[in-house]
Structure 1
């Protein structure tokens, strides 16, 4: 089943995918492998690659403290909300990138290594070309919108394979499910990794101009494969499609098959609905509404809606990287059941509400949204992953039980 047959179609005109054998580099599937698009937060894989190079060279240690500049602190969400003058350890910086996809932290790393973010971006591009990523250019360290920041699924697969090969000891950080930072429990945005057998990384990405992107790697026995998808219409449909591609990749390796395809072609048995993708691109269909079935999981990182920076493409005016969320479905509604001065009571309130809702949140996620000033934060207890009707039904049930509940419109 192709991406077009999933819960919603691919983002019009943006779809590309590839699956490779991590050991040999042999291509197991490809569709539009050399079509250039925006990598979004997949950019942070290269940011981390250069930090891992620095660690190997001894210029930094995992407990080295990195300063936060005004430029870094001013980055759009998703972010840790660092302030100018703060410091963060390399270890926490790495964890913040692989889980929360924190844009402010990406710039902290860039400035620590390259002096300036633009200088670091030049280092990133040189590294990309040295690795054979001939169609990739970087302009920033985070993946926030920039018309000049482009890559391909082939190049991103090359990057992932090189990172796993060159830095196997550091690659394990991409398997991180949660980490604690200053009272927050931050959960990975990579939900496919949490449920696909053998998956152990590596990175999600989203801006409006790119659609939902993903690099995944999974291992079965001694066999590892890497998949890259650009242009999913939703995080859920992208993840479902990636799972299908990985399944077929493992099956092909088991049969001893590989396939090489030319640019803009798709392997027919892997993408039987490629015509639907083309039709969607030509007619610029809007993505279908999510089906609404959603799974209560551990609390992910905070979510913050925002407008895209002015450097974004003209049609990229309503989202920053990761929907400022790290690839959650931007059409997903939430409910808020309270606001607290500390994280723990907020999480307890959301958990208690989820228990009362029962089946209404069978696939939802608890989200503790940190807002306010650093010295006086407000932790908003939310449950996300609803469509509008489900969110309204959930609030009605809680209100009947005497509990506070407020709808959170994703477009508000």
Structure 2
């Protein structure tokens, strides 16, 4: 007991030391009517810190995370290829900065467009890519909003692919954290694109806006700014194999926003370490006077931003459930289907038992070992990607 108490005390001292040696976040660093923030444990969905996280705000270029999410889906479905041409339309060429600056009729590849969207946050490229995928940016914005609802982003409406000003183009810190989590969960192999601090386009070096990527443990995501929003940031940070997803909106300067994000992440990892040691030290307590709105009250208390992963092994009792994701003439086709889903969505299916069940001339591809609720959720997830899925009850 004494040893545990000593460890907790040491962690508290270390935590408080970094809080007080860093520069204070000045009262003028955030505008109360623009500020919002949230930190969420990526594994459990537990909210470690929340200030006005459900308040409607302008996402600015954090919007492009959804643009990229839909592009990744199109790539996975084979509807889009990295070598495809993205032609700059007159409308795209006319978009205001930040932009790549190509003229109408010029083009770049999808691979180049994705890199430029992340690093340069190019509005002209966002519009051109939206037009490539949906025919028009307005049609693409409707797809973005529909996907937001599927992911659980209940207070988000997209009106364009870039985040340029529109009074109806809104989101919340909570919804943007959900988006960041969904991208990590659904497209883990493509997430590395968000770690880029620079890229090269036709021989010219383009440097990015995300200075936080130079912070140890921060491995990606996106910045944003319009006057109506202030300086925004969606970040993912990892330490000792544990990941937090954090959103800060409404900074009066990029440096103030970045500084507060660093403090939030440090406080979150310290709070987690203290918990592992058997005690409690909330993030808000660690921030102290540096909390921009310490008395802010959420309209709805946010305890968990998304469900914790359902335990698969041993969770189904007398009745187990499977999900069937296809029936194939050849066993190897079914195996490839299961391996593909497990690789694309590891947090959903990497721990599920894979089964090939003969049925006449066909081979049914199934993930097994779910309870009923988990099976229904897993199938809904697969169907949300326009792919077939059937829930199957298996009596032991």
1:104 aligns with 2:124: yes
Q: Aligned pair 1:207/2:226, yes or no?
A: yes
Partner of 2:289: 272
Cα offsets for 1:1-47 (capped at 9, x unmatched): 69994255212421110011111111111111101110000000000
In structure 2, the partner of 1:131 is 151
**What is the aligned partner in structure 2 of residue 222 from structure 1?**
241
Q: 1:277 to 1:101 in 2, by over 3 A?
A: farther
Q: 1:256 and 1:278 mapped to 2: Cα distance?
A: 24
Query: 1:193 is matched with which residue?
Result: 213
Counterpart Cα distance in 1 of 2:284 and 2:294: 14
Contact 2:25–2:292, Cα closer than 8 Å, also in 1: no
Return the structure number with greater helix share: 2
Tell me, which stretches of 5 or more residues in structure 2 are unaligned? 1-18, 297-396
How far did 1:252 drift? 1.9
For residue 134 of structure 1, report the CA deviation from its aligned partner: 0.3
| Structure 1 residues 165-199: Cα deviation after superposition (integer angstroms, max 9, x where no partner) | 100111100001211112320011100112x1111
Once structures 1 and 2 are overlaid, which stretch shifts more, 94-103 or 64-73?
Answer: 64-73
**Alpha-carbon contact 2:284-2:294 (below 8 Å) kept:** no
Point out which structure has higher relative CO (alpha carbons under 8 A, 6+ apart).
1
What CA distance in whole angstroms lies between the structure 1 residues aligned with 2:288 and 2:226? 24
Q: How many residues align?
A: 273
Q: Deviations over 1:255-275 (max 9, x none)?
A: 33899x9xxxx9454353557
Corresponding position of 2:339: none
Query: Which residue in the other structure is 1:148 paired with?
Result: 168
Distance in 2 between residues matched to 1:4 and 1:118, nearest whole Å: 44
CA contact (8 A) 1:29 1:270 kept: no
- Secondary structure of the structure 2 residue equivalent to 1:72: helix
2:36 and 2:53 in contact (8 A); partners too: yes
User: What CA distance in whole angstroms lies between the structure 2 residues aligned with 1:148 and 1:271?
Assistant: 35
Structure 2 CA distance for aligned equivalents of residues 131 and 81 of structure 1:
33
Alignment partner of 2:127: what SS? helix
Q: Is the 8 A contact 2:25 2:290 kept in 1?
A: no
Pick the aligned partner of 1:116 from 136, 144, 165.
136
SS in 1 for 2:264: helix
Listed as ranges, the gaps of 5+ residues in structure 1 are: 280-412
Residue 16 of structure 1 pairs with residue 36 of structure 2? yes
1:207/1:275 Cα in 2 relative to 1: closer, same or farther (>3 Å)? closer
- 1:178 corresponds in structure 2 to 198
Q: CA RMSD in A?
A: 2.4
CA distance in 2, matches of 1:19, 1:176: 22
Q: Tell me which structure has the larger Cα radius of gyration.
A: 2
Rate the CA distance shift 1:36–1:6 in 2: closer, same or farther, 3 A.
same
Displacement of 1:253? 2.0
Are 2:79 and 1:59 aligned? yes
Q: Which of the residues 142, 159, 173 maps onto 2:179?
A: 159
Distance across 2 between alignment mates of 1:48 and 1:35:
24
Change (3 A) 1:16 1:82: same
* 2:266 is the alignment partner of 1:244: no
Aligned residue for 2:289, secondary structure, equals coil
Assess, with a 3 A threshold, how the Cα gap between structure 1 residues 276 and 56 changes in structure 2: closer, same or farther: closer
Please say if residues 179 and 185 of structure 1, whose CA atoms lie closer than 8 Å, have aligned partners that are also in contact.
Answer: yes
The answer (yes or no) to whether the contact 2:30–2:292 under 8 Å persists in 1 is no
Aligned match of 2:369: none
Once the two structures are superposed, residues 335-390 of structure 1 have per-residue CA deviations (whole angstroms, 9 ceiling, x without a partner) of: xxxxxxxxxxxxxxxxxxxxxxxxxxxxxxxxxxxxxxxxxxxxxxxxxxxxxxxx
CA 1:86–1:140 in structure 2 vs 1: closer, same or farther (change >3 Å)? same
User: Would you say the 8 A contact 1:96–1:105 is kept in 2?
Assistant: yes
**Corresponding residue to 2:47 among 10, 16, 27:** 27
Given that residues 131 and 158 in structure 1 are in contact (C-alpha distance below 8 angstroms), is that contact kept between their aligned partners in structure 2? yes
| Cα distance in 2 between the residues matched to 1:269 and 1:91 | 42
